[in-house]
Amino acid sequence: MINQMNEIVVVGSGAWGSALAETFEAEIIAGRAEAKCDLSNKIVVIAVQAQSLREVLLKHNYENSIIVICSKGVEQGSLKLLSEVAEEILPDNKIAILSGPNFAEEIQKGLPAASTVSCKDEEIGRELIEKLGKRNFRLYYTKDIIGVQIAGAVKNVLAIACGICEGKKLGNNAKAAIITRGVAELARLCKAKGGDDVTLLSLAGIGDLLLTCTSTQSRNFSLGVEIAKSEDIQASIKEKGGVKEGYYTAKAVNELAKSLDVEMPICKSVFDILYKDKTVNDVINELLQRPQK
């Protein structure tokens, strides 16, 4: 099927979309393009903000195309994973997810990197690896499309927590604790949603988590650092290039966890800071005073 598709199109002209378009030698169209585009019979790689995915999928013609979603998050309101949003709007299309420890700047420079491709249809997934994989961009297949997306969404929230830890100068021990206990939260949510927690050991899991939670190249980590140092948290959220993906994801993940009766204290703490005006110091004290288990 894919062998008959010679054209790859990237929707989304931000840093990530531009890096992917260059890597895949693909045409690129802006995520905010006003005109309806004919994207039929193509491999369509979508790299827009998670909360914009529905709008982009409703706008263009995707007949007989394979959709590869490279965004990370949970849709607010519906609490759907992005593949679920795509399946709702495009029930006849094959849907795949590309996710992993990838900074756009390094991908664009051609530096070595690896990522995960997930698709319920294994044949399509493995064909995508052959079609999209490059010498310096190695791809690995998994069928667990749920686990890949849960990991990709939650790691943005945990990155904010690690950034706060960095900004407060709480030390590397504390940061390691957040990452480790964050993996436990990820595993619980993944299992409750129907994913395989083994996926958390993959590039899309621990790989992406470690990268995002330890580098100032991560926008969500940097947001956490700013929040820790700021007297006006809401101003910090909105400055420096606009609101970051993790801000929206923190709310959606918190609501998803509540709906599935999953305990996620670190992610809940980030939500409380972002949306409930709790101070960083109060949240830290609450976490440290949680009952032993």
pLDDT tens-digit readout, 109-158: 999 999 999 999 999 999 999 999 999 999 999 999 999 999 999 999 99
CA distances from 89 to 57, 81, 83 (A): 7, 13, 10
Quote the percentage of the chain above a pLDDT of 90: 84
Give the per-residue pLDDT at 293. 72
Neighbouring-strand partners of residue 94: 66
> Residue 71 is encoded by which pair of tokens?
């965004």
Give the per-residue pLDDT at 145. 98
Contact 266, 181 (CB under 8 A): yes
pLDDT of residue 168 exceeding 80, the answer is yes
pLDDT of residue 241 exceeding 70, the answer is no
Which class does domain 2-143 fall in?
alpha beta
> Residue 219 is encoded by which pair of tokens?
């926008």
pLDDT of residue 1 exceeding 70, the answer is no
Instruction: Label residue 3 by pLDDT band (50, 70, 90).
Output: low
The most confident of 224-228, 262-266, 275-279, by mean pLDDT = 262-266
- Whether 155 is a known active-site residue: answer yes
Q: Do domains 2-143 and 146-288 have the same CATH topology?
A: no
Q: What is the Rg, in whole angstroms, of the alpha carbon atoms belonging to the chain?
A: 19
Q: Buried (b) or exposed (e) across 203-220, using 16+ Cβ within 10 A?
A: bbbbbbbebbbbeeebbb
Which sequence spans correspond to the domains of the chain?
Answer: 2-143, 146-288
Task: Domain 146-288: give its CATH superfamily.
Answer: N-(1-d-carboxylethyl)-l-norvaline Dehydrogenase; domain 2 (1.10.1040.10)
State the pTM of this model: 0.94
With vertex at residue 190, the alpha carbon angle to CA 187 and CA 194, rounded to the nearest 5 degrees, is: 140
62, amino acid identity: Y
Give the per-residue pLDDT at 243. 57
Instruction: Label residue 236 by pLDDT band (50, 70, 90).
Output: confident
pLDDT of residue 182 exceeding 70, the answer is yes
Q: Specify the residue for token string 């204290």.
A: 265
Answer positive or negative: Cα dihedral of 154, 155, 157, 158. positive
DSSP assigned state of 74: B
**Residue 270 half-sphere exposure, CB side, CA atoms within 13 Å?**
33
Mean pLDDT for the stretch of residues 169-186:
96
Instruction: Label residue 174 by pLDDT band (50, 70, 90).
Output: very high
Catalytic residue among 72, 80, 155, 175: 155
Instruction: Label residue 76 by pLDDT band (50, 70, 90).
Output: very high
CA dist 125 and 129 (Å) reads: 6
> Residue 160 is encoded by which pair of tokens?
């904010």
DSSP assigned state of 206: I
Of 36-45, 222-231, 234-243, which range is least confident? Answer: 234-243
Helix, strand or coil, per DSSP, at residue 92: coil
CA dist 154 and 71 (Å) reads: 13
Contacts (Cβ under 8 Å, ≥6 apart) of 104: 14, 15, 16, 18, 19
130, amino acid identity: E
